[in-house]
Amino acid sequence: MSGELEGLLVILSINTIYAYGVFLAASSGQLNLGAAGFVTLGAYASGYLTNGFDGLGLSIVLGIPIAVLFVGTIAFLISFPILRTRGVYMVLATFAFAEVVAGVVINAEFLGGAAGMPVEVFIPFYVVIISAVAVAVLCFYFMSTRFGLAMRSVHDDESVAILFGVNARMVRVWAFTLGGALLAFGGALYGHHYSYVETQNFNMLLSIYILLYVLLGGTQTALGPFIGALFFTFVPELLKAFGSAVGQRWIEDGRLVAFGLIIVLMMVFRPEGIVTRTMLTKMFTRKSRALEAGE
Protein backbone atom coordinates (compact mmCIF):
# COMPACT_ATOMS: atom_id res chain seq x y z
CA MET A 1 0.00 0.00 0.00
CA SER A 2 1.40 3.39 -0.97
CA GLY A 3 1.98 6.04 1.65
CA GLU A 4 -0.49 8.39 -0.05
CA LEU A 5 -3.28 5.82 -0.02
CA GLU A 6 -2.51 4.91 3.58
CA GLY A 7 -2.72 8.58 4.56
CA LEU A 8 -6.05 9.01 2.75
CA LEU A 9 -7.51 5.92 4.46
CA VAL A 10 -6.45 7.26 7.86
CA ILE A 11 -8.06 10.63 7.13
CA LEU A 12 -11.21 8.90 5.86
CA SER A 13 -11.36 6.73 9.00
CA ILE A 14 -11.00 9.70 11.37
CA ASN A 15 -13.50 11.75 9.35
CA THR A 16 -15.94 8.83 9.49
CA ILE A 17 -15.74 8.70 13.29
CA TYR A 18 -16.22 12.46 13.46
CA ALA A 19 -19.23 12.19 11.14
CA TYR A 20 -20.93 9.54 13.27
CA GLY A 21 -20.35 11.68 16.37
CA VAL A 22 -22.34 14.54 14.84
CA PHE A 23 -24.80 12.14 13.19
CA LEU A 24 -26.04 10.80 16.54
CA ALA A 25 -27.07 14.29 17.56
CA ALA A 26 -28.43 15.18 14.12
CA SER A 27 -30.56 12.02 13.98
CA SER A 28 -32.47 13.32 17.00
CA GLY A 29 -32.94 16.78 15.48
CA GLN A 30 -29.86 18.60 16.83
CA LEU A 31 -27.33 20.53 14.77
CA ASN A 32 -23.99 20.44 16.58
CA LEU A 33 -21.50 23.07 15.42
CA GLY A 34 -19.23 22.44 18.39
CA ALA A 35 -17.65 19.21 17.14
CA ALA A 36 -14.16 20.72 17.21
CA GLY A 37 -14.50 21.33 20.95
CA PHE A 38 -15.11 17.65 21.70
CA VAL A 39 -12.34 16.60 19.29
CA THR A 40 -9.93 18.98 21.02
CA LEU A 41 -10.81 17.67 24.48
CA GLY A 42 -10.46 14.05 23.37
CA ALA A 43 -7.09 14.60 21.67
CA TYR A 44 -5.54 16.58 24.53
CA ALA A 45 -7.01 14.45 27.33
CA SER A 46 -5.81 11.20 25.79
CA GLY A 47 -2.38 12.65 25.02
CA TYR A 48 -1.93 14.02 28.53
CA LEU A 49 -3.09 10.79 30.18
CA THR A 50 -0.69 8.61 28.17
CA ASN A 51 2.36 10.88 27.99
CA GLY A 52 5.11 9.68 30.32
CA PHE A 53 7.30 12.78 30.51
CA ASP A 54 4.78 15.57 31.08
CA GLY A 55 1.59 13.54 31.62
CA LEU A 56 0.23 10.75 33.79
CA GLY A 57 1.91 7.91 31.92
CA LEU A 58 -1.13 5.65 31.67
CA SER A 59 -1.38 2.78 29.23
CA ILE A 60 -3.14 3.65 25.98
CA VAL A 61 -5.66 0.90 26.77
CA LEU A 62 -6.68 2.96 29.80
CA GLY A 63 -5.88 6.44 28.51
CA ILE A 64 -8.23 6.56 25.52
CA PRO A 65 -11.30 5.09 27.33
CA ILE A 66 -10.78 7.44 30.29
CA ALA A 67 -10.45 10.41 27.91
CA VAL A 68 -13.63 9.39 26.06
CA LEU A 69 -15.49 8.93 29.35
CA PHE A 70 -14.24 12.32 30.57
CA VAL A 71 -15.41 14.13 27.44
CA GLY A 72 -18.67 12.17 27.42
CA THR A 73 -19.33 13.38 30.97
CA ILE A 74 -18.71 16.98 29.89
CA ALA A 75 -21.07 16.48 26.93
CA PHE A 76 -23.73 15.11 29.28
CA LEU A 77 -23.42 18.05 31.69
CA ILE A 78 -23.52 20.78 29.05
CA SER A 79 -26.32 19.10 27.11
CA PHE A 80 -28.94 20.27 29.61
CA PRO A 81 -28.39 24.04 29.14
CA ILE A 82 -27.59 23.68 25.43
CA LEU A 83 -30.69 21.63 24.66
CA ARG A 84 -32.90 24.33 26.14
CA THR A 85 -32.19 26.23 22.94
CA ARG A 86 -33.62 25.52 19.50
CA GLY A 87 -32.65 26.08 15.88
CA VAL A 88 -30.00 28.70 15.19
CA TYR A 89 -29.63 29.41 18.92
CA MET A 90 -28.53 25.83 19.53
CA VAL A 91 -26.04 26.08 16.68
CA LEU A 92 -24.62 29.23 18.26
CA ALA A 93 -24.51 27.60 21.72
CA THR A 94 -22.52 24.61 20.48
CA PHE A 95 -20.23 26.91 18.50
CA ALA A 96 -19.63 28.98 21.64
CA PHE A 97 -18.71 25.79 23.53
CA ALA A 98 -16.04 24.96 20.95
CA GLU A 99 -14.62 28.48 21.17
CA VAL A 100 -14.47 28.29 24.98
CA VAL A 101 -12.63 24.97 24.80
CA ALA A 102 -10.12 26.41 22.30
CA GLY A 103 -9.57 29.44 24.54
CA VAL A 104 -8.98 27.31 27.65
CA VAL A 105 -6.61 24.86 25.93
CA ILE A 106 -4.56 27.52 24.17
CA ASN A 107 -3.92 29.21 27.55
CA ALA A 108 -3.13 25.98 29.43
CA GLU A 109 0.65 25.89 29.75
CA PHE A 110 0.73 22.26 30.93
CA LEU A 111 -0.86 21.30 27.59
CA GLY A 112 1.72 23.24 25.59
CA GLY A 113 -0.37 26.36 25.06
CA ALA A 114 -0.46 27.75 21.52
CA ALA A 115 2.55 25.62 20.48
CA GLY A 116 0.59 22.40 20.94
CA MET A 117 1.49 19.15 22.67
CA PRO A 118 3.46 16.11 21.45
CA VAL A 119 1.77 12.74 21.96
CA GLU A 120 4.24 10.00 22.84
CA VAL A 121 2.22 6.82 22.22
CA PHE A 122 1.78 6.04 18.51
CA ILE A 123 -1.18 4.19 16.97
CA PRO A 124 -0.55 2.58 13.54
CA PHE A 125 -2.84 3.22 10.59
CA TYR A 126 -4.55 -0.18 10.65
CA VAL A 127 -5.76 0.38 14.23
CA VAL A 128 -7.37 3.67 13.14
CA ILE A 129 -9.08 1.93 10.20
CA ILE A 130 -10.33 -0.96 12.33
CA SER A 131 -11.64 1.52 14.91
CA ALA A 132 -13.58 3.41 12.23
CA VAL A 133 -15.12 0.18 10.92
CA ALA A 134 -16.11 -0.80 14.47
CA VAL A 135 -17.70 2.61 15.09
CA ALA A 136 -19.68 2.39 11.83
CA VAL A 137 -20.94 -1.13 12.63
CA LEU A 138 -21.93 -0.09 16.16
CA CYS A 139 -23.82 2.95 14.84
CA PHE A 140 -25.68 0.81 12.30
CA TYR A 141 -26.69 -1.54 15.11
CA PHE A 142 -27.48 1.32 17.50
CA MET A 143 -29.85 2.96 15.03
CA SER A 144 -31.81 -0.30 14.76
CA THR A 145 -32.35 -0.53 18.53
CA ARG A 146 -35.35 0.83 20.40
CA PHE A 147 -33.40 3.91 21.44
CA GLY A 148 -32.28 4.50 17.87
CA LEU A 149 -35.89 4.33 16.70
CA ALA A 150 -36.82 6.80 19.44
CA MET A 151 -34.14 9.18 18.14
CA ARG A 152 -35.57 8.94 14.64
CA SER A 153 -39.10 9.54 15.88
CA VAL A 154 -38.01 12.67 17.79
CA HIS A 155 -36.24 13.90 14.65
CA ASP A 156 -39.24 13.27 12.40
CA ASP A 157 -42.03 14.55 14.68
CA GLU A 158 -41.31 15.39 18.31
CA SER A 159 -44.97 15.94 19.23
CA VAL A 160 -46.06 12.51 17.98
CA ALA A 161 -43.04 10.87 19.66
CA ILE A 162 -44.00 12.43 23.00
CA LEU A 163 -47.60 11.34 22.48
CA PHE A 164 -46.37 7.74 22.18
CA GLY A 165 -44.42 7.97 25.43
CA VAL A 166 -40.95 8.91 24.23
CA ASN A 167 -39.00 11.13 26.62
CA ALA A 168 -37.75 13.49 23.91
CA ARG A 169 -35.52 15.52 26.24
CA MET A 170 -33.58 12.53 27.56
CA VAL A 171 -33.31 11.05 24.06
CA ARG A 172 -31.64 14.26 22.91
CA VAL A 173 -29.42 14.39 26.00
CA TRP A 174 -28.07 10.88 25.46
CA ALA A 175 -27.71 11.36 21.71
CA PHE A 176 -25.68 14.52 22.35
CA THR A 177 -23.60 12.74 25.01
CA LEU A 178 -22.79 9.70 22.89
CA GLY A 179 -21.98 11.96 19.94
CA GLY A 180 -19.55 13.97 22.07
CA ALA A 181 -17.87 10.76 23.25
CA LEU A 182 -17.44 9.54 19.65
CA LEU A 183 -15.93 12.87 18.62
CA ALA A 184 -13.50 12.60 21.53
CA PHE A 185 -12.56 9.09 20.40
CA GLY A 186 -11.81 10.41 16.92
CA GLY A 187 -9.70 13.19 18.41
CA ALA A 188 -7.76 10.70 20.52
CA LEU A 189 -7.00 8.54 17.47
CA TYR A 190 -5.89 11.65 15.57
CA GLY A 191 -3.48 12.66 18.31
CA HIS A 192 -1.98 9.21 18.76
CA HIS A 193 -1.54 8.60 15.03
CA TYR A 194 -0.04 11.96 14.10
CA SER A 195 1.85 12.21 17.43
CA TYR A 196 1.05 15.89 17.86
CA VAL A 197 -1.98 18.00 18.66
CA GLU A 198 -2.52 21.75 18.51
CA THR A 199 -5.66 23.81 18.91
CA GLN A 200 -5.29 25.49 15.51
CA ASN A 201 -6.01 22.16 13.80
CA PHE A 202 -9.36 21.88 15.60
CA ASN A 203 -10.95 25.14 14.53
CA MET A 204 -14.38 26.31 13.40
CA LEU A 205 -13.71 25.10 9.86
CA LEU A 206 -13.38 21.54 11.17
CA SER A 207 -16.78 21.81 12.89
CA ILE A 208 -18.35 23.06 9.66
CA TYR A 209 -16.78 20.26 7.62
CA ILE A 210 -17.96 17.57 10.04
CA LEU A 211 -21.50 18.94 10.00
CA LEU A 212 -21.38 18.98 6.19
CA TYR A 213 -20.27 15.32 6.16
CA VAL A 214 -23.55 14.47 7.85
CA LEU A 215 -25.87 16.89 6.08
CA LEU A 216 -24.49 16.06 2.64
CA GLY A 217 -24.39 12.31 3.27
CA GLY A 218 -27.86 12.32 4.81
CA THR A 219 -29.23 12.12 8.34
CA GLN A 220 -31.98 9.60 7.59
CA THR A 221 -29.80 6.48 7.63
CA ALA A 222 -26.57 5.35 9.31
CA LEU A 223 -24.98 5.02 5.86
CA GLY A 224 -25.21 8.76 5.22
CA PRO A 225 -22.31 9.93 7.46
CA PHE A 226 -19.88 7.46 5.87
CA ILE A 227 -20.90 8.51 2.35
CA GLY A 228 -20.50 12.15 3.33
CA ALA A 229 -17.04 11.55 4.84
CA LEU A 230 -16.06 9.52 1.76
CA PHE A 231 -17.22 12.31 -0.55
CA PHE A 232 -15.37 15.05 1.34
CA THR A 233 -12.18 13.00 1.67
CA PHE A 234 -11.76 11.64 -1.85
CA VAL A 235 -13.49 14.05 -4.25
CA PRO A 236 -10.94 16.91 -3.74
CA GLU A 237 -8.10 14.41 -4.21
CA LEU A 238 -9.72 12.94 -7.33
CA LEU A 239 -10.11 16.43 -8.80
CA LYS A 240 -6.46 17.09 -8.03
CA ALA A 241 -5.36 13.81 -9.64
CA PHE A 242 -7.57 14.43 -12.69
CA GLY A 243 -6.13 17.90 -13.22
CA SER A 244 -2.60 16.53 -12.94
CA ALA A 245 -3.34 13.63 -15.33
CA VAL A 246 -4.79 15.79 -18.11
CA GLY A 247 -2.17 18.47 -17.65
CA GLN A 248 -4.70 21.15 -16.72
CA ARG A 249 -3.18 23.06 -13.82
CA TRP A 250 -6.31 25.18 -13.42
CA ILE A 251 -8.30 22.08 -12.44
CA GLU A 252 -5.70 21.11 -9.87
CA ASP A 253 -5.41 24.63 -8.45
CA GLY A 254 -9.15 25.29 -8.56
CA ARG A 255 -10.28 21.94 -7.18
CA LEU A 256 -11.56 23.49 -3.96
CA VAL A 257 -13.68 25.96 -5.94
CA ALA A 258 -15.08 23.09 -8.01
CA PHE A 259 -15.63 21.09 -4.86
CA GLY A 260 -17.52 23.98 -3.28
CA LEU A 261 -19.68 24.27 -6.40
CA ILE A 262 -20.52 20.56 -6.18
CA ILE A 263 -21.59 21.04 -2.55
CA VAL A 264 -23.83 23.99 -3.43
CA LEU A 265 -25.47 22.03 -6.24
CA MET A 266 -26.00 19.07 -3.94
CA MET A 267 -27.67 21.22 -1.28
CA VAL A 268 -29.92 22.85 -3.92
CA PHE A 269 -31.02 19.75 -5.81
CA ARG A 270 -30.79 17.13 -3.03
CA PRO A 271 -31.11 18.89 0.35
CA GLU A 272 -32.08 15.63 2.10
CA GLY A 273 -28.58 14.27 1.41
CA ILE A 274 -27.05 11.67 -0.88
CA VAL A 275 -28.52 8.68 0.97
CA THR A 276 -32.18 8.61 2.06
CA ARG A 277 -34.48 5.96 3.52
CA THR A 278 -36.63 6.03 0.37
CA MET A 279 -33.62 5.41 -1.85
CA LEU A 280 -32.44 2.44 0.25
CA THR A 281 -35.96 1.01 0.40
CA LYS A 282 -36.26 1.14 -3.40
CA MET A 283 -32.81 -0.42 -3.84
CA PHE A 284 -33.53 -3.35 -1.49
CA THR A 285 -37.03 -3.82 -2.97
CA ARG A 286 -35.64 -4.07 -6.49
CA LYS A 287 -32.93 -6.47 -5.31
CA SER A 288 -35.43 -8.75 -3.56
CA ARG A 289 -37.69 -8.75 -6.62
CA ALA A 290 -34.73 -9.61 -8.86
CA LEU A 291 -33.79 -12.49 -6.57
CA GLU A 292 -37.39 -13.76 -6.56
CA ALA A 293 -37.51 -13.54 -10.36
CA GLY A 294 -34.25 -15.46 -10.59
CA GLU A 295 -35.66 -18.26 -8.49
Tell me the three-class secondary structure of the chain, residue by residue.
CCHHHHHHHHHHHHHHHHHHHHHHHHCCCCCCCCHHHHHHHHHHHHHHHHCCCCCCCCCHHHHHHHHHHHHHHHHHHHHHHHCCCCCHHHHHHHHHHHHHHHHHHHCCHHHCHHHCEECCCCCCHHHHHHHHHHHHHHHHHHHCCHHHHHHHHHHHCHHHHHHCCCCHHHHHHHHHHHHHHHHHHHHHHHHHHHCEECHHHCCHHHHHHHHHHHHHHCCCCCCHHHHHHHHHHHHHHHHHHHHHHCCCHHHHHCHHHHHHHHHHHHHHHCCCCCCCHHHHHHHHHHHHHHHHHHC
Domain residue ranges of the chain, discontinuous segments joined by +: 3-208
Give me the pLDDT at residue 3, please. Answer: 77
Give me the pLDDT at residue 249, please. Answer: 67
Give me the pLDDT at residue 74, please. Answer: 96
Q: What is the mean pLDDT of each successive set of 10 residues along the chain, which is 295 residues long?
A: 84 96 91 93 95 85 96 95 86 92 92 90 95 95 91 88 89 94 96 93 90 87 91 82 70 68 79 76 63 57
Give me the pLDDT at residue 66, please. Answer: 96
CA-closest candidate to residue 20, choices 133, 172, 168, 144: 133
Give me the pLDDT at residue 255, please. Answer: 64
Q: What residues have CB less than 8 Å from 154, skipping those under 6 apart?
A: 28, 29, 161, 166, 168, 171, 172
